[in-house]
Chains A and B, each alone.
Chain A
Amino acid sequence: MNIIPKLISLLIIMTISNVTQANVEISKYITKNGIKVLYSKSGNIPMIDIRITFDAGSNKDGDLKGISMLTHSLLDEGTSKMDAESIASVFESNGSVFNTSVNKDKSSISLRSLTEKKYLNPSIKMFLSILSDSVFPKNETQLQKDRTLTSIVEDETDAAEVASSLFFKEIYSDYPYAYNTIGQKNTVKKITRKDILNFYKKNINIGNASIVIVSSLPKKEVIDISEKISKSLNLTAKENFEDKVLSDINKEKNIYKRFSSEQAHIYIGGLSIERGSKNHLPLYVGNYIFGGSGFSARLMQELRVKRGLTYGVYSYIHPMKNTGPFVIGIETKSEQAQESVKLIHKMLREFYKNGPTDKELKHAKQSIINGFPLMIDSNSDVLNYLSLINYYNLPQDYLNTFTSRISNITKKDIMKSFKDEIDVNKLITLVVGNEKAKK
């Protein structure tokens, strides 16, 4: 949905990954050919959610930026036996939903279906042949490239999109995280059907996969489905992937880009942590207080409630496989851009100096701990958790120990983790807006 800025959707991912609950029972199973499956039995709704996650996000694009996204969007456009229309017919006439998604680290392929056999069996069969036998027909490939190019050009006319692209480019320089998953005009144009087939074989395979399932089905059937999936995946072994080196930001930078829009879109931030960092939870709680908890956060209280400067302001820390970003975002009418920037910097320095108040810390912990049940009250939520735990190899007891770990966090932990992980003297500040947004 193009009206929700990319940065906001990242925020949502982060929040989900950090919260747990008391009563989701997670079971583990390893398929005969070695794929790790996490599954959970849901209540009595006769439905199943299956998600296969691949280590094949846009960081695997190489020079062909956008190829992961393009490959995934074409998966259901044809197999050696069926064309796009027949594939869609199978899913639609059985009421099932096929989906793919790609982010900077990983990709996923999902199926939601009813559990009644007459709907489930044909849906699974179709799902399996997409996994092993996608052929990426020539016409559909060209069409999808054209649609992607159209989106890229549209994004260039949108201030929020322009700002977020530029911001990540500044933070990540030429590391793959610098680039949008959708790709770039010149690279998408270059991608051929052969490139896509290559990417598919190299990445959508056993060596790269993990599976999560949430359903009302008994264990035996879940295991049966897992085995079917793992058998149908291509056998290609995992390739050694040579990651680029991610270099630190070496100095503070203020950037202004002119763009004709009423509002200025502002991003302030830098590098933070990778997934699994011991500082993750202190940073999470600290950020929750500073800008990550919506209305109760300092940023929202100061800039929206007290001053009426904006409709929305937030901050987030997004741990990724490699070092993820720390981001503050706000949009405000251009005349108020510089005032907002100054204010945010001042608030950030104050936060580094004095940390959260005791009351704020207590409130944040209560809120996070009490909120557990809400974060897992749907199959979709549980699926997201399992997927993160499985993909990032988080400890099996990650959820069970979560509340106690949150409750142990001190003000000192928070202040130290911010100082250690996010260099407040080397932040990027980006303002995209009309002339009035410039100093």
Chain B
Amino acid sequence: MKFLYKNNISRYFFIFNILIIFLLSFDARAEIMEKTLDNGMHVILKKDKRAPVVTSHIWYKIGSADEVSGKTGLSHALEHMMFKGTKKNPGGLFSEVIAKLGGKENAFTSKDYTAYYQTLPSQYLEEAIKFESDRMTNLVVSKDDFLKEIEVIKEERRLRTDDQPEGIAYEQLYASAYNNSSYHDPIIGWMEDLHNMTEEDIINWYKNWYAPNNATAVIVGDINFDETFKMVEKYYGSKKKVDIKKRIERNEPVQFGEKNISIVIKDKPSYLITGYKVPSINTKNIEKWECYALSVLSGVLSSGQNSRFQKILIKDKKIASYADSGYSMFSRNEPLFLIDVNPMLGKNISDIEIELNKIINELKTKLVSQKELDRIKAQVLASEIYQQDSIDYQARILGMAKTSIGDTNIIKEYTSNIGSVTASQVRKVAKKYLVANLKTTVKVNDDK
């Protein structure tokens, strides 16, 4: 991310996932228009006339999952360099203009995608599109700019990962859980790769992946469909389709047993994070309901004051000060179902593991109650309304669904699919996926 504290550490990841659960359910009444330009660029428009404001996003299907060993962090570094200007609009001119117009802008990179956005008064939408389209194909990457920016990125890495025990644990979890899947590597890249990265690497990455046929524009706000679509066509329509490289498939081989990693970070509190390899909605040869059942399962564990983690780990046993779980079905490859726990002062990680195992085993043997299911569903339904309060989230969810899954219908169906999950389905996915052969745990400063 260019300049906000979007973090790749667990706490943030969880928050983001919870938001997804809360915000994904879509308002079916809202008007949406989708169209693909001749050059393959996809366009999604959504009207929200509550305020004279618009948010304009562009999503590229390129993220750390497309990187290879020795070249990690390229997608994120390129995202930073995208703010360095083009021949026509040199340096920070784009940012300067957006600021002058009273707009906000930023960008973010994930394992699956890279996205840029401007939110501004709706009468200035064309300015944002004009500049954004220019940097899709005309970026200038100078050595001088790169050498400075890579130092900024290293500072970002120190801030979010190297000085944060939970950041280190999160990174170690993915690196340990996956042998071959490209989810193995951190989004920001390993420090060693950042030291070796060059401006040529960035230029090549840009040429390979930044093209209309690898991009989706999402515009939400006080807009008129015809006018806005014409505007997008005017600035992007003439851009040429590029042959997008075939993505390297890095499938994850079978895991032979539970993996346990113990790390020591001096003078820091202890912490535990576990990940189970689970399917995403993209995964072949699974029933789609499995993903919805896993989402509900995560809600049973950690959503709200009456969730099992809250009641058992925090309130009854008093061994955790914080406990959470997270699962996002909207990922390109098979993700991890995450659980993380901060022990209460003076409590042991080993006690937490015992209780966690009991909680997981109970999910495999007993059906969750109707009351628990109703609670999750009520929360999802309410969020269908609340999420309309932010045009940016509306755009984010559309961009993510299209880029990672290839289809925005999935969002329209989300609430009803969650609604039809049954207790026995929840038990089935617990039995199938929350097992030793899919499990990796990283413990920080284990007391044993």
Contact = CB atoms under 8 A, between A and B. Distances in A.
Contact of A366 (B9, B15, B100, B304): B100
B52 interface: yes
Interface residues of A, number: 73
Contacts of A205: none
Contacts of B269: 153-154, 157
Given A146-B321, A312-B5, A373-B102, 6 more contacts: A8-B5, A94-B378, A149-B345, A311-B153, A311-B159, A377-B51
Contacts of B154: 333
Interface of B: 2-3, 5, 7, 9, 11-12, 15, 50-53, 83, 92, 95-96, 99-104, 119-121, 124, 147-156, 158-160, 162-165, 266-269, 304-306, 311, 314-315, 318, 321-322, 342-345, 371, 374-375, 378-379, 381-383, 385-386, 388-391
Contact of B120 (A92, A312, A374): A374
Contacts of B9: 3
A369 B99 CA distance: 11
A210 interface: no
Given A1-B15, A260-B266, A377-B51, A92 B305 contact: yes
A376 B344 contact: no
A250 interface: no
Contact of B52 (A295, A305, A373): A373
Nearest to A303: B152
Contact of A373 (B96, B121, B314): B121
Given A147-B321, A260-B267, A3 B102 contact: no
B155 A311 contact: yes
A150 B100 contact: no
B304 A296 contact: no
Nearest to A112: B386
Contacts of A421: none
Given A3-B5, A3-B7, A374-B53, A146 B318 contact: yes
A370 B11 contact: no
B315 A93 contact: no
A16 to B, nearest CB: 13
A95 B155 contact: no
A47 B386 CA distance: 7
Contact of B148 (A146, A149, A306, A332): A306
A34 B212 CA distance: 60
B159 A309 contact: no
B159 A88 contact: no
Contact of A146 (B50, B119, B152, B344): B344
A55 interface: no
Contact of B378 (A76, A92, A304, A306): A92
22 contacts: A3-B11, A42-B50, A43-B50, A47-B385, A84-B315, A92-B379, A93-B378, A95-B383, A112-B386, A143-B315, A146-B318, A260-B267, A262-B158, A296-B99, A310-B152, A332-B155, A333-B155, A367-B102, A370-B100, A373-B102, A374-B121, A378-B51
Given A3-B7, A370-B121, A143 B148 contact: no
Contacts of B162: 262
Interface string A1-31: 1111000100000000000000000000000
Nearest to A371: B102
Contact of B160 (A3, A159, A370, A372): A3
Contacts of B99: 293-296, 363, 367
Interface in A364-389: 366-374, 376-380
Contact of A95 (B15, B147, B267, B381): B381
B367 to A, nearest CB: 19
Contacts of A308: 147-152
Contact of A93 (B159, B314, B375, B390): B375
A69 B117 CA distance: 36
B408 to A, nearest CB: 21
A116 to B, nearest CB: 9
Interface in A192-236: none
A96 interface: yes
Contact of A378 (B160, B374, B390): B390
A284 to B, nearest CB: 15
B163 A263 contact: yes
Given A1-B11, A2-B11, A154 B342 contact: yes
A143 B314 contact: yes
B248 to A, nearest CB: 30
A369 B102 contact: yes
Q: Which 6 A-B pairs have the closest CB atoms?
A: A95-B382, A370-B102, A371-B102, A88-B305, A308-B148, A308-B151
A311 B389 contact: no
